[in-house]
Amino acid sequence: MVELSSEDKLVLLQHAISKYEDENTLLEKLKAVLPQKDIDRGIATLIATQRVRRIGPDALQNNISHVGELPEILPHIKPIIDSL
């Protein structure tokens, strides 16, 4: 597997959130790709930078109104996102 930078992980998380808004489903799908620590840290970073918002107790949503469009999927991340 390709080594992902911290920015790559955030892009991966944002696109995964657009596929699975339910946090439990999201965590289950991402466990195969990222360590739990990276997932938790990434979600916290995305919420803190207002790229993602919590819309309920177990739901996450990309904050498109705040940041505009989702970042472009880089070629080395696309297969990972497609496999989720």
pLDDT per position as a tens digit, 18-27: 998 889 999 9
Could you tell me the pTM of the whole model? 0.87
pLDDT of residue 2: 60
> What is the CA angle 32-75-46, rounded to 5?
60
Note the pLDDT of residue 69.
81
Rounded Cα–Cα distance for residues 78 and 15 (Å): 10
Listed as ranges, residues in the chain with pLDDT below 50 are: none
The amino acid at residue 81 is: I
Count: domains in the chain = 1
The verdict on residue 54 lying in a domain is yes
* Residue 1 maps to a domain: no
CATH of the domain at 20: 1.10.10
Q: Please give the single-letter amino acid code of residue 42.
A: G
Distances 60 to 2, 4, 39, 71 between C-alpha atoms, Å: 26, 22, 13, 17
Helix (H, G, I), strand (E, B) or coil at 63: coil
